Structure 1
Amino acid sequence: MKNKMLCLSAALMLVIVSCKKDSETKNSGEIAAAYEGTPMTDEYDAEIEKIVSQMTLEEKIGLLHGYSMFTNKGIERLGVPEVHMADGPLGVREEISRNSWAPAGNTDDFATFYPAGGGLSATWNPEMAHTFGKSIGEEARARDKDVLLAPAFNIIRTPLGGRTYEYMTEDPFLNKTLVVPYVTGVQQNDVAVCIKHYAANNQETNRGTVDVQMDERTLREIYLPAFHDAVVKGHAFTVMGAYNKFRGDYLCENPYMLQSILRDEWGFKGIVISDWAAVHTTKKALEAGTDLEMGTPTASFDDHFFANPLIKAVKDGSVSVAEVDKHAKRILKLLYNVKAMGKKDGRAKGSIATEAHYKDAYNIASESVVLLKNSENLLPLNASALKSVAVIGANAMQRHAQGGFGAGVKTKHEVTPLDALKAKLPKSVTINYARGYKTEFKPKKEMKFGEVTQEVKETVNELDPKMVAEAVEAAKKSDVAVLFVGANRDYETEASDRRDLSLPFGQEKLIAAVKAANPKTIVVFVAGAPYDINNVVAQNSAILWGWYNGSEAGNAITDVLLGKVNPSGKLPWTMPKKIQDSPAHATNSFPGGATEEYKEGILVGYRWFDTKNVTPLYAFGYGLSYTTFELANAKADKASYAANETITVTLDVKNTGKADGKEVVQLYAAKSGSKIERAAKELKGFTKVLVKAGSTQKATITIPAQELAYYDAASKKWTVEPGAYRFKIGNSSRDIKQEITVTIK
């Protein structure tokens, strides 16, 4: 894409972006075709019927439950292989033992560490999502996997969520825009995605038992759109049932979610895989729609609900053979569709831990870095004018491929910021490194979250005076100080929500001490979730936000620091000034008790802040550049539209600075005088464009009028309300530069 206009779809078949690529035009059909998933084929159904008819009851049921930690049981005599699965949010997980979570100890299971969901989302770039999916799909195939247990994209409802770093964004439109190309990229490698966690899985506190309650409109408009598009547009082959309950039923035994919505409405043909140990019954879970029960064995895998208890249920007549056959056939359909059965000769071979994949990881990471502040133009650094640089902080050397509870990546290649600075700065520049703080934890203790008591990790926040003195000394004797702070994957982790927004490990005091020692201090956060950085922002003029950004994270952040890459990342969530400003906390509904009521309804994330006039520290979609942009001349192609027509909006994007740069043009829709509750504005389109210094590019965003629909729970239909809609166009939800009005007839 170097020196060319970056052309992206803003929402695939929903919002298509058309822009010039030098003299070449990339039309909407080409973009849609590039990201359209391939539906499951039915061509093997007759063969599947024949194979199932030859199975014993025990063989059929062996297909429906875990027979090792990441496989079911194959049927060798009929040529039915095991379904091989692997964790994959950050890269293909190392091989583990068949009967436990212990590493298998292999020497051939190293993989590329890819950016976490927060980093990918911060690119605001569907093309990067497709690159991510294609690349990790190739790695999964190289490891002979049939199912990649990713992507995870539950809505970020609370900044404290343990999986905020992984769960992409707070906005359903942005989520679905990124998820579909990811799904397509993986599955074009003959590997099924397992989209997760279906659904309303938005907290780790009490996640195994909490009963989520919300109204139907909120469910349809906020929590289901990305799942819908992953299934209907991306044609995801597998779905993972979540741990929590929804309206009284566990998600893995929830007929409304698994049958009425997933299969009857959306036409899902694939298999539902339970999260590990998320099944609680035999008959109810099977008949509700779960196909494959996975989990850690108690005494034996035969103790799973879909194992010996299912055999007993069939023999005593409480579950029919026809019911078992239905699920067995779905398993075989999956195997045929990923070419583990049938036309195996044409199956993708894949590749793993290659230079090409490290480049993919770099491209995503370098486009995800968010410039939060640069008020004194300390950035980018002029390396040729430097004699010394203080590099301070544990995150300058921390590797993030492993850590916490959940799936990491076993990788040989993870470049840290310190590694990259040593390699990229001129040899004449002295690097003065000081760790500055320890990343230590106290023994876990019980904390009260509403009505729920949970063990939480508590950090050691007392600084070591000697380490602070070393950091201050390094800063004093250097031309500039670069602080690498934030969190790590032991602190932001599955199975535990954070207790508050505090910056851990005493870092705020360290940052203040370094700033006092050297006014030319640049603060780089490496983290996946919002923190209370009010004081840091007030006291420092240069702040970058990185992520758990994969094997090439160090090179990516260093290239931004040195100006080789102009930052173009945008925040995929709102950073509040205080936790009480966030909707789930403002309504006192997080984390709930046995029941969790989503009292904020449709006003999630920026919708709440903008509608309630609550000022965030940094807005959704915010991110600066080393150049400046002007948006002008926004106009629609017509004044009014029918509900089945498409609205085309064009505007000029002018680069008014001295560096080439990429800008994300964001379009939010608003409707005043509506007969229903609405947010002040909702993201409905965006495009990311590369504009050379001093140049102007035309950006085009098209919005099907149906994208403006709300869900009418009474009629159970999506409805486009007639009337005037204002399109607010800017570069964050709070920085609106242009407005136009269109009418829907």
Structure 2
Amino acid sequence: MTLEEKAGLCSGADFWHTKGIERLGIPSVMVSDGPHGLRKQEGETDHLGVNESIKAVCFPAACAVASSFDTDLIEKMGETLGEECQAEDVSVLLGPGVNIKRSPLCGRNFEYFSEDPYLAGKMAAAYIRGVQSKGVGTSIKHFAANNQEYNRMSCSSEVSRRTLREIYLPAFEEAVKAARPKTVMCSYNKINGVYSSENRKLLRDILRDEWGFEGYVMTDWGAVNDRVKGLAAGLELEMPSSGGMNDAKIVKAVQDGTLDEQLLDRAVERFLRVVFDYVDHRNPDAVFDREADHKKAVDIEAECAVLLQNNGLLPLKQGKKIAYIGAYAEKPRYQGGGSSHINASRVTSAWEAAQKKDRNVTYAQGFPFDGDVKDDQKFAEAIELAKSSDVAVIFAGLPDSFESEGFDRKNMKMPDCQNALIEEIARVQPNIVVVLHNGSPVEVPWADKVSAILEMYLGGQGVGEACDRLLYGEANPSGHLAETFPYRLEDNPSYLYFLGDGKKVHYGEGVYVGYRYYDKKKIPVRWAFGHGLSYTSFAFENLRASAEEMDDEGTIEVSIDVRNKGERAGKEVVQLYVSDRNGTFGRPDKELKGFAKVPLEQGERKTVTFKLCARDLSYYHEALGDWYAPSGSYEISIGPSSDCLEAKTTITFRTKKLLPFTVDGTTTLGELLADPRTAAVIQQMMAEAQKAMAANTPNEEAADSGDMMSAEAIQAMMQAMPLKSIVSFGMMNGEQMEGLITVLNQTIGAV
């Protein structure tokens, strides 16, 4: 292979195809946007979806699928998407998106799973396993710290190492280690001043050396900054084509010695390995059965919808006169805008589904599908219909113009015309159900005035049929929120930092993202992370652990019995949280470390078991450069949501890991007492000091007068005392102190 050919393979042939080399039998293959459907464009192509793509099945977006808390479900969805890709000869499906929902305002939140990295990672791994089981690659994105649309192509995400490791990288880590995606897509933005596309720390040190990634790294479309630096850092494929400009730069760099040709060879090898893996698993007999896949989309969405509140009005009773109000009843908003926009093969609205089933339903538009315009006549018609009906079901949410790739939301509000109509109907109709179609949380000032709220999210082309099943009890809601719904935007932890100044955005909230923040600050929220209701009820009983203690190499199994104590079959999401009870500074109150979705018939009981290891108890210690859990007590809590933990137990953890520690004059006695390597030396020194102080104690009369410090005060003062101060207090001289420091460092092994 010539130098020019090798350089050429490192960029696309056009918008959606890689280059081939006919004389060497290297094929050109196609990649296509996902993640919740196949957006295969034909003819003129573009990245943001302005031009037409083939008819395909639009599955629920990630915002909905994550709410299923069901890894089996998303894996099966992935299998279906993989089969569709094979039928359309697409080698790599560009997804899933696992960026953390740092703020409700990110315009692309509908494409991302969760505010929680554990949940996002597990869902992503399942999706990847499903797609790749069909011989099609995936491209997990956007690596990394891509959490806003504003200036996403140039802004620098300023994030601490601990925050990166605990919040923004774990979903990628889990997916890479557990599911081995064929490709990783780097993001547009900088991370701490270095573009992702040329960030060696991310692309080589972490992704490959630590996590063992074996595929190739590709850019988001147009994300290259310096192509030669990028290739050296671990960026294999630039998309789309640069018209030969960057290929020539690679050639020149090799020729003048600024780029080692072995790095280019390695990049080409990684790229070709993925290409030929697809070729070897090509299935020309695959069929894209749009009708069958549409039914799957309906079934999946029925598992994703979240019943946020219900005073007993749902499920709707047959024979009742029901008013459907709002444009989304007739024309549902079922997907977001931008590069993931699917040309849906068919869409059935809730209004159509009700008509097909001969429901006793009438319809009034009330407000428009897009925009925020109040039509007085349509308002009046909707109010009158609601007044004359037994129940009003209002289909509301966010219009296309409110959330999309390319821009961020300005606030968490729904259109004023929608809020106003809900308020007006609440004055004349006590029985109101609000069905929400949105890709991220919204403020709901009318929540206490309505009977039930059903969150459908952006539920794909089957959203209307799934909604009909749920409203009338043909399906039992089983989704739980993968993100917190705060009462107002100002409560969000990123509120003071989000978007930044256009050049940099500081992640000043650190690890306190989503429920981690609301829990720590004890801020009330509208609906907590993990929240979701059902038409039945469940009991959590008999929590037990396989052992009381665990060490660095060990594991503990935690089991609980879940019982359906209601009157119909249903599914419960069992969530396990871990809490550090050692007073460790800077740790959230609790963190999700296990979940399972459990189907239960009426009266049925099942046992759910989770396995915990040291990593599940740990935080990222920057000085250690590794995960660390201090020895001590850890609380294990299990329940149906983060704010409803019905069973708890405590385990003891013992670690042999020792933190980096160098002693100098500013080291406090408290620090030395807390470290097992130095505690004995300091305890002996303090005992001798206390003896000396006792020998100089005033007589009892002076003690009784209150002139003496209490023993507790003396102890606290000594704990906070730096070594350099013990000279001032006459406990030893300077030479003795320097000797003590030397002994302590030798004991630690720091010298």
TM-score in terms of structure 1 length:
0.84
Query: Residue 289 of structure 1: CA displacement?
Result: 1.2
What does 1:506-521 align with in structure 2 at a 5 Å threshold? Answer: 506-521=417-432
Matches within 5 A, 1:632-671: 632-671=541-580
Structure 2 counterpart of 1:39: none
**Structure 2 residue aligned with 1:277:** 222
DSSP 3-state at the match of 1:482: strand
Larger relative contact order, structure 1 or 2 (CA cutoff 8 Å, min sep 6):
1
1:97 aligns with 2:30: no
Between the aligned partners of 2:574 and 2:651, the Cα distance in structure 1 is 19
Counterpart of 1:73 in structure 2 is 19
User: Which whole-Å deviations, capped at 9, do the CAs of 1:305-362 have from their partners, x for residues lacking one?
Assistant: 3x33333444444334333222222211111222x2xx45x64743324343223322
Which residue identity lines up with residue 654 of structure 1 in the other structure?
A: R
**Which stretch of structure 1 is more off in the superposition, 312-321 or 721-730?**
312-321
One of 617, 636, 639 as aligned partner of 1:730: 639
Helix, strand or coil for the counterpart of 1:481? Answer: strand
8 Å contact from structure 1 (residues 113, 414) kept in 2: no
Could you report, residue by residue, the CA deviation over 1:616-670 in whole angstroms, capped at 9, with x for unpaired residues? 1110000111112221221212222223222222222222221111111111111
Within-5 A mapping of 1:237-636: 237-295=182-240, 301-305=242-246, 307-338=247-278, 340=279, 343=280, 347=283, 349-375=285-311, 377-383=312-318, 385-386=319-320, 388-400=321-333, 404-426=337-359, 429=360, 431-441=361-371, 461-504=372-415, 506-533=417-444, 535-585=445-495, 587-636=496-545
CA RMSD of aligned residues (A): 2.0
- 1:170 corresponding residue in structure 2: 115
CA contact (8 A) 2:105 2:410 kept: yes
Residue of 588, 591, 595 corresponding to 1:682: 591
Q: Answer whether contact 1:401 1:411 (CA < 8 A) is retained.
A: no
- Greater shift, 276-285 or 628-637, is seen at 628-637
Structure 1 stretch 147-156 or stretch 278-287: which is displaced more? 278-287
SS in 2 for 1:584: coil
Q: One-letter code of the match for 2:273?
A: K
8 Å contact kept, 1:85–1:149: yes
Paired residues for 1:37-76 under 5 Å: 55-76=1-22
Q: Which runs of 4+ in 1 moved over 6 A?
A: 102-107
Q: Which range moves more in the overlay, 535-544 or 615-624? A: 535-544
Q: For 1:513, give the aligned amino acid.
A: E
Identify which of 702, 711, 722 aligns with 2:620: 711
Q: Give the counterpart letter for 1:433 in structure 2.
A: Y
Per the alignment, residue 721 of structure 2 pairs with: none
User: How far apart in 2 are the matches of 1:654 and 1:611?
Assistant: 31
Which residue is 2:684 aligned to?
none
Tell me how far apart the structure 1 counterparts of residues 50 and 88 of structure 2 sit (CA, whole Å).
14
Contact 1:97 1:103 in 2 (8 A): no
Question: Displacement, 1:59?
Answer: 2.0
- The structure in which a higher percent of residues are helix is 2
How far apart are 1:408 and its partner, in Å?
1.0
Change over 3 Å in CA distance of 1:103–1:503 after alignment to 2: closer
- Give matches, 1:121-200, under 5 Å: 121-200=66-145
Tell me, which stretches of 5 or more residues in structure 2 are unaligned?
655-751
Deviations 1:454-505 (A, max 9, x none): xxxxxxx341101101111221232221111001444221111100011125
For 1:605, the aligned partner's letter is: G
CA contact (8 A) 1:402 1:410 kept: no
Following superposition, the deviation at residue 403 of structure 1 comes to 5.7
Letter in 1 for 2:230: A
The question of whether the paired residues in 1 share the 8 Å contact of 2:196 and 2:202 is answered with: yes
**Distance change >3 Å, CA 617–CA 472, structure 1 → 2:** same
Q: Which has the larger radius of gyration?
A: 2
1:208 Cα deviation after fit:
1.1
Identity percentage of aligned residues: 38
Relative to structure 2, which stretch is displaced further, 365-374 or 592-601? 592-601
CA distance in 2 between partners of 1:362 and 1:523 (Å) = 20
Closer/same/farther in 2, CA of residues 480 and 615 from structure 1, 3 Å limit: same
Q: TM-score, with normalisation over the residues of structure 2? A: 0.84
List gaps (5 residues or longer) in structure 1.
Answer: 1-54, 442-460
**Distance across 1 between alignment mates of 2:636 and 2:501:** 36
- Asked if the contact 1:302–1:308 (Cα under 8 Å) also holds between the matched residues in 2, the reply is no
Mean Cα displacement is larger for which, 717-726 or 232-241? 717-726
- In structure 1, how many angstroms separate the alpha carbons of the residues matched to 2:497 and 2:158? 14
Residues 590 and 672 of structure 1, relative CA distance in 2, 3 Å threshold: farther
The amino acid that maps onto 1:134 is E
- 1:706 shift after superposition: 2.9
Q: How far did 1:562 drift?
A: 0.4
8 A Cα contact 2:298 2:463, kept in partner: yes
